[in-house]
């Protein structure tokens, strides 16, 4: 971990920071005004590459962003109410080496996603969005307490409260002695990449091509429940051969799933079940032409580790893998899945329980790979509060 020479909004904008709040367009559930949504502040994450480059240069020239002349770490307190409870996150913005061996990943990337992230960083010669990293559990409590104390002892440079009660407060730490104290937490400490696999892969390519300094903007918090919540990502199914409910249920039985029971005909029963301990290794199936949610056991995956096999998304994708015609689409909210069923954009929906934090960490330690879009860590770090230029 190293401090950064950051670009942040100028003082006038910081005093009215609510005016540059925008929806996190990376999260489709934001469109439904869900209180689990992440927030962003206006930046350059959308638009064509040429537009990003020109707008960034204009903002720098017009001093929309202030460029720090000294390296520091930025301390963030973010409070927000979610459906799984209150968030009171204490985190820091810094940089990590893109080749940091302590940083463990758990998800594959797609080439087109990596290229989009690479071009965006190259266009502005800056990290516009941080990767989100969790600190290993053995130091989480002490780390969190230390960051909180440092933040409370330093004056806030950003402070805002949103209409829903969510609050952001950020301070800057430039004292070298205090920075070194923070850096001690990262000695022989596991770090887990929670969000930003494509950005990290893109940064490695830019570094290899001589277009970056080999580091990446990072937001680090503990993985305690006060700092983040872990949510499932469900799947919708498109497969004409299972367009009739009976064919779907018979097909699932033939490939190893086992019917357990039916649930009440409402979304609350689905959400309640997938949050219960009873849901481990199972899924709730709902066909577009059947209003009865049905619980199925997912078959164990042969020759798989226990921690990977504990993840329902992994079991589901392995079970369906032999049927090449099946198309699965990830969806973050049950309401979005129901919308797809109601509009005939999917034949069925599979509602899955969330993977545990322990399982995600175990998969990363073992250098194994979970299916893409298996987990959702809420809330994501707010984008736009801190930018890390590496070409200025």
> What is the DSSP secondary-structure string of 100-149?
-TTEE--B---HHHHHHHHHHHHHHTEE-S-EEEEEPHHHHHHHHHHHHH
Question: Whose CA is closest to 120, among 29, 201, 28?
Answer: 201
Average pLDDT value for the chain: 89
**What is the C-alpha R_g of the chain?**
22
> By the 8 A CB rule, do 230 and 357 touch?
yes
Q: What three-state secondary structure class fits 273? A: helix
Question: What confidence tier does 207 reach under pLDDT thresholds 50, 70, 90?
Answer: very high
Name the residue range of residue 260's domain: 234-373
283 shares a domain with 225: no
> By the 8 A CB rule, do 216 and 133 touch?
no
pTM value is: 0.91
262 shares a domain with 225: no
Of residues 31 and 179, more confidence is placed in 179
Mean pLDDT, residues 231-247 taken together: 96
282 shares a domain with 216: no
Dist CA 109 CA 107 (whole Å): 7
**336 found inside a domain:** yes
263 shares a domain with 149: no
Q: What percent of the chain stands above pLDDT 90?
A: 64
Give all strands of the β-sheet with 282-287 in edge-to-edge order. Answer: 258-262, 294-297, 282-287, 348-351, 234-238, 327-331
Dist CA 295 CA 269 (whole Å): 11
**2 found inside a domain:** no
Dist CA 19 CA 54 (whole Å): 22
Dist CA 319 CA 257 (whole Å): 8
Q: What percent of the chain stands above pLDDT 70?
A: 93
Question: Whose CA is closest to 136, among 362, 353, 305?
Answer: 362
Question: What confidence tier does 119 reach under pLDDT thresholds 50, 70, 90?
Answer: confident
- Whether 32 has a pLDDT exceeding 50, the answer reads no
Question: What confidence tier does 44 reach under pLDDT thresholds 50, 70, 90?
Answer: low
- Whether 26 has a pLDDT exceeding 90, the answer reads no
285 shares a domain with 197: no
Question: Whose CA is closest to 372, among 115, 105, 117, 25?
Answer: 105
- Whether 89 has a pLDDT exceeding 70, the answer reads yes
Asked which of 15-24, 187-196, 268-277 is least confident by mean pLDDT, the reply is: 15-24
137 shares a domain with 71: yes
Element (H, E) at 51: helix 49-61
> By the 8 A CB rule, do 87 and 229 touch?
yes
214 shares a domain with 104: yes
**106 found inside a domain:** yes
44 shares a domain with 13: yes
pLDDT tens string 350-375: 999 999 999 999 999 999 999 888 88
323 shares a domain with 348: yes
Mean pLDDT, residues 170-188 taken together: 92
**54 found inside a domain:** yes
Mean pLDDT, residues 242-267 taken together: 96
341 shares a domain with 328: yes
**96 found inside a domain:** yes
Residue 35: predicted pLDDT = 55
Question: What confidence tier does 36 reach under pLDDT thresholds 50, 70, 90?
Answer: low
**206 found inside a domain:** yes
> By the 8 A CB rule, do 385 and 170 touch?
yes
280 shares a domain with 247: yes
**121 found inside a domain:** yes
Task: Give the count of alpha carbons within 13 A of 382, CB side only.
Answer: 32
Question: What confidence tier does 47 reach under pLDDT thresholds 50, 70, 90?
Answer: low
CATH number, domain of 347, equals 3.30.1760.10
306 shares a domain with 205: no
Question: Whose CA is closest to 348, among 258, 238, 270, 241?
Answer: 238
Give every CB contact of residue 50 below 8 A, 6+ residues apart in sequence. 123
**1 found inside a domain:** no
Residue 185: predicted pLDDT = 85
Element (H, E) at 312: helix 312-320
Split into its structural domains, the chain has a count of 2
């Amino acid at each position: 971990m190293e401090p950064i020479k950051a670009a942040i909004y100028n003082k006038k904008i910081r005093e009215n920071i609510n005016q540059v709040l925008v929806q996190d367009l990376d999260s489709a559930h934001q469109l439904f005004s869900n209180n689990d949504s992440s927030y962003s502040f206006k930046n350059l994450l959308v638009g064509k590459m040429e537009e990003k480059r020109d707008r960034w240069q204009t903002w720098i020239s017009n001093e929309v962003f202030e460029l720090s002349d000294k390296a520091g770490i930025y301390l963030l307190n973010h409070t927000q109410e979610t459906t799984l409870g209150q968030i009171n996150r204490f985190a820091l913005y810094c940089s990590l080496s893109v080749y940091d061996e302590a940083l463990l990943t758990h998800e594959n990337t797609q080439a087109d996603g990596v290229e989009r992230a690479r071009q965006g960083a190259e266009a502005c010669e800056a990290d516009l969005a941080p990767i989100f990293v969790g600190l290993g559990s053995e130091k989480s409590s002490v780390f969190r307490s230390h960051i909180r104390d440092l933040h409370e002892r330093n004056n806030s440079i950003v402070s805002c409260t949103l209409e829903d009660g969510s609050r952001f407060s950020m301070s800057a730490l430039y004292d070298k002695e205090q920075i070194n104290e923070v850096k001690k937490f990262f000695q022989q400490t596991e770090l887990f990449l929670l969000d930003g696999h494509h950005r990290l892969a893109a940064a490695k390519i830019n570094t290899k091509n001589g277009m970056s300094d080999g580091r990446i903007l990072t937001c680090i918090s503990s993985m305690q429940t006060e700092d983040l919540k872990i949510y499932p990502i469900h799947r919708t199914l498109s497969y004409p051969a299972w367009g009739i409910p009976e064919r779907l249920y018979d097909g699932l039985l033939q490939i190893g799933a086992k019917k357990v029971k039916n649930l009440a005909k409402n979304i609350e029963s689905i959400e309640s079940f997938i949050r219960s301990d009873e849901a481990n290794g199972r899924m709730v199936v709902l066909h577009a032409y059947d209003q009865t949610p049905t619980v199925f056991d997912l078959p164990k995956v042969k020759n798989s580790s226990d921690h990977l096999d504990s993840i329902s998304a992994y079991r589901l994708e392995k079970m369906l893998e032999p049927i090449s015609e099946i198309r699965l689409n990830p969806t973050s909210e049950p309401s979005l899945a129901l919308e797809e069923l109601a509009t005939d954009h999917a034949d069925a929906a599979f509602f899955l329980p969330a993977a545990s934090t322990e399982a995600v960490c175990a998969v990363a330690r073992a250098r194994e790979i979970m299916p893409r879009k298996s987990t959702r860590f809420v809330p994501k770090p707010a984008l736009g509060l801190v930018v890390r230029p590496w070409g200025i």
